Chain A
């Protein structure tokens, strides 16, 4: 909760103003019963007709004043809570988009989604309710206490002695309640997961006849949520009866103490009666506080979850470039650590996802600008990992990676990513039109788009209704696999990146399209350095450099012809795929 205070702080003046308005409205509200009793007790017995009209009119005036002030206060509260929530969501989303893969796995995607949506919503509800309902009760509470103190100090002492106990109860229950609501939210994350998994796996689920099983799984997760909610509800709803009982117990004590005092002649029965009236006001005020209590506990639990994400610092560590340069100069004498003059260089890079065994080991290569690198090797041999390291999705455990002669750890994120055009395996198309998908918010001109579509061999676009305006369904559901793939490639090439990374993009393409695509990339992207991961020898054989990977190590390095001679594994892949026909 504390972590979110900086979001509330800029609104302190507005909140103060809102509170003042609400306060004034409440005072007007409270005037009415007071005037009412004044008319009946004082004005009417005097048979003062003019007085009745006058005070009656004042009463209506107060009512009008109250309504105007209360409505404005409510609207201000809505504005303030909305604006605060907007800011928090903005920052939370921004943070979420920049989380590392490791952090996302730690928090989990469903949880991130529910933090962005339902948690921010509960937080909004909390600050809204506090502003709307949190003024009247304290006024009545404090006012009631002051009046009772003026009335009879000794009796008031009984009441005031009770207050710390009440606060302790509130404190204790909320302390129990907040973690319970965190639990509810955690259970809700699981529910989100069930829905997402079901919706993305619908075809497989139907094919494996697991619909009822999925229903059962959902139902289980659902049960967990409602049970967690029920548990929290049970605890929270104890507040009201306990508070009301405690206060009424106080009332009974007041009468008892009052009886002693009257007996001693220290007070009058009339005072006890008056005291009880105010006591009722205090009681009602306290009870109305318990009303927003659930909302506050829930909101606080959510606020903590939001803060957990916001707290995460930029995980990209940057090394200082000058320091690095100095280091480099120092090392120059040794000859080995010389500045990289290649466009991309991997120098003895090793990396392990889980820290157990290396997923890639001691990888080194150099690529000049405009050159192409082909990565080929068995499933799980570390091809994609090399791309992920180059993109700094992970940092290497050992060795350095250089782009433009600079260690990628010294290149600011924005600058680094601007160089790349990437297509991942299983890459995603966001909801929108074909044009928007290629553009991806980068201000790609129509001409560039046409150009990219041409290079990516995505001529199917022109057959679609509206062409670039053709609306895609979710994840490009209304395109065939090969069409999606080419659209993704067009997206990667639209901005003529310095470096093009294609991770097994040919898998969904037929060979003819694939061959045509390779040719057009070669022709149109001469200045672009290309790294191509593929299972197909034909996709990589034209590359300037080919790395053959096996279990994370390089077992063959060189051009196609060299590898055919020196690398039996490569030759085997080639022979199998090209069959006799290649001869």
Chain B
């Protein structure tokens, strides 16, 4: 990922965006704040009641008014019970809000991910996205669900205490007029210092995640090369970075609490000294000093709490920054406004003078033109790196050509809605993609309404039915991560069965049978020939036996189509195709 230069989203902007997630629950947030207040007031009533109870005890031995004591004690219990209940309801509300926010944030990230251009997935490690979806969103959630209430209560307490202090002795409040701004200034500076540290922490954790994911994926290779220690040293260096950046963030972040404490304590000490001096000069009663000090402590407490929240919030902001960074990544270019969904498809494909280059590499497709009419089988052959897969990438609109156009039934495919366009295709790649699920689910993946018979029929066509039946669980066999009991070739057969079932009008096979033995392949091709009647097929293969029967063979080299024709015609030409063909039999 290119997050080295992911900019810090401005904090105000960040807050606005976070608010978008909280907004739907603003009613609940408000209710929670009211509940907090109510529960705090009830908790404060406790001491009042206990005071009354003690008043009833006050008369001394033999004179205690037990009915009164009991009355107040019972009231106390009732009040505390209600207060605790409110407290619990409050927690539940906050958990629910947190849950909803987390849920929609994750969905948004995934939704964004699903709209990224294919090239993004060659640059972005799965582990990093996982880190954003788990760690970063988690951090935001835990901050939102605790800090909002904290801030609300702190605010109320601070305000109340300030009013009380002002009524007692306004002059003494001046002490806070000095210390609070200093503290505020200090906190601001700290935030500036600390934010990039939390950002670095999030990023390094993402990197660690990315590496771990890759290593687990390639574990077999690592083992075969006995490179465990090498991978470990790669992991360690990222681990150390992650731990050190976390330490750095903690190192500076954890100062806030104690420093706030220092400010508060010194403020209270100053209040105490000046208050006492005022008392000595006769300007104030001792009782006033005592209660002023009491309120000043109440005033300072939330400020202290606030400082802790601030470092919490910083890590949440850093996390939000990463989440929004992903959400803000440029998605696949949206469909043109005039783009229409497809209604009826015949399946005539034509490339008209198409040129293309990848941003990141030199590979170029150079003025490619060809026609693939409905029901035809077009084969693309050529040496490795010639641009065969690029043609498919353009055909599927994974990338858009820089010049020229590709037409489906005479319409420029850029004028068709992508989802609608792609839904006409089915594709099998050399890199088989199966997911964790049963064989049945994997085959039926492209055709939701497929019945058991449909799936079996497809499996039979793909010559994999017998194998599936030989497994102890048959079609219910779970495809595991390693898929040890299923060979690569069998996996290819499963994906072929999947593609056959999908019923798409156009079929792309990119080295789809490369790991399948020739005999099986021949049988599949034969069966497919029947199945693909009326479908437009594209086949990339090195094995020329796969392409011999193609209606049209495109011979690609250096990004250009240098020959085109049927097997026989091309052989007669004695050009590159002929050479490739001959090379099969070179020993």
Contact = CB atoms under 8 A, between A and B. Distances in A.
Nearest to B542: A510
B583 interface: yes
B585 A70 contact: no
Interface string B215-236: 1111111111111111111111
A565 interface: no
Interface string A36-58: 10011001110101001100100
Interface in A502-545: 504, 507-513, 515, 535-536, 538, 541-542
Interface in B464-501: 467, 470-472, 480-482, 484-490, 492-493, 495, 498
Contact of A230 (B80, B95, B490, B520): B95
A107 to B, nearest CB: 9
Contact of B396 (A79, A113, A195, A207): A207
A237 B545 contact: no
Contacts of B121: 199, 202, 474, 477
A263 B70 CA distance: 14
A82 interface: yes
Contact of A538 (B217, B279, B362, B585): B585
A244 B70 contact: no
B265 A509 contact: no
Interface in B345-377: 358, 360-363
Interface in A164-182: none
Given A44-B276, A223-B103, A426-B488, A245 B445 contact: no
A497 to B, nearest CB: 9
A208 B506 CA distance: 11
B358 A478 contact: yes
A59 B268 CA distance: 9
A466 interface: no
Interface string A431-469: 100000000111000000000000000001001010000
A393 interface: yes
B250 interface: yes
B102 interface: yes
B157 interface: no
A541 B289 CA distance: 102
A542 B587 contact: yes
A203 B69 contact: no
A96 B258 contact: no
Interface stretch (A84-92, A329-337, A400-408): A84-92
B482 A101 contact: yes
A104 interface: yes
Contact of B254 (A74, A230, A477): A74
Interface in B429-445: 429-433, 435-436, 445
B585 A249 contact: no
Interface string B59-87: 01111101001101110110011011101
Contacts of B205: 117, 121
A410 interface: no
Contacts of A563: none
A354 B265 contact: no
B286 A40 contact: yes
B427 A573 contact: no
Interface stretch (A147-155, A319-327, A339-347, A411-419): A411-419
Given A44-B276, A56-B269, A380-B467, A513 B383 contact: yes
B568 interface: no
Nearest to B427: A207
Interface in A77-125: 77-79, 82-83, 85-86, 89-90, 93-94, 96-99, 101-102, 104-105, 108-109, 112-114, 116-118, 121, 124
B228 A29 contact: no
A480 B364 CA distance: 12
Contact of B542 (A264, A475, A508): A508
Interface stretch (B17-25, B129-137, B187-195, B526-534): B129-137
A197 interface: yes
A483 B585 contact: no
A contact patch SS: helix
Contacts of A229: 99, 102
Contact of B57 (A33, A259, A417): A259
Number of contact residues on B: which range applies?
Answer: 35 or more
A568 interface: no
A241 B584 contact: no
Contacts of B396: 203, 206-207
Contacts of B224: 391, 393, 417, 420, 422, 424, 501
Contacts of A114: 130, 134
Interface stretch (A12-20, A250-258, A364-372): A250-258
Contacts of A94: 228, 232
Contacts of A430: 214-215, 218
A483 B230 contact: no
Contacts of B277: 49, 52
Interface in A111-144: 112-114, 116-118, 121, 124, 128, 132
Interface string B84-105: 1101100110011011101100
B50 interface: yes
Contacts of B153: none
Contacts of B223: 97-98, 391, 393, 417
Contact of B208 (A36, A117, A508): A117
Interface stretch (B4-12, B158-166, B239-247): B239-247
Q: In the complex, which of the residues A45, A97, A219, A417 has the most CB atoms of chain B within 10 Å of its own CB atom? A: A97
Given A207-B422, A209-B422, A192 B222 contact: no
Given A44-B276, A56-B272, A380-B487, A207 B436 contact: no
B262 interface: yes
Contacts of A105: 480-482, 484
B3 to A, nearest CB: 14
A478 B360 contact: yes
B102 A226 contact: yes
Contact of A204 (B362, B427, B493): B427
A269 B61 CA distance: 10
Given A237-B92, A507-B542, A252 B261 contact: no
B93 to A, nearest CB: 10
A208 B110 contact: no
For A245, A414, A422, A424, which residue has the most chain B Cβ atoms within 10 angstroms? A245
A522 B72 CA distance: 98
Contact of B73 (A196, A214, A252, A508): A252
Contacts of B433: 200-201, 203-204
A206 B118 contact: yes
A578 B289 CA distance: 105
B328 interface: no
A182 to B, nearest CB: 16
Contact of A377 (B53, B88, B517): B517
B69 A259 contact: yes
B431 A237 contact: no
B118 A202 contact: yes
Nearest to B398: A203
A577 B584 contact: yes
A193 B209 CA distance: 14
A23 interface: no
Contacts of B360: 473, 478
Nearest to B255: A71
A292 interface: no
22 contacts: A70-B257, A77-B254, A97-B219, A97-B228, A98-B228, A114-B130, A117-B208, A191-B133, A192-B130, A209-B422, A244-B87, A251-B50, A252-B50, A255-B76, A259-B64, A353-B484, A473-B123, A480-B384, A507-B511, A510-B583, A511-B583, A511-B584
Nearest 9 pairs of A and B residues by beta carbon:
A482-B384, A477-B122, A441-B230, A379-B489, A417-B226, A63-B265, A265-B61, A78-B250, A207-B427
Given A93-B239, A417-B224, 16 more contacts: A56-B270, A71-B259, A93-B235, A96-B219, A97-B215, A118-B135, A209-B422, A255-B53, A272-B57, A391-B224, A424-B220, A481-B389, A504-B488, A511-B586, A515-B583, A535-B489
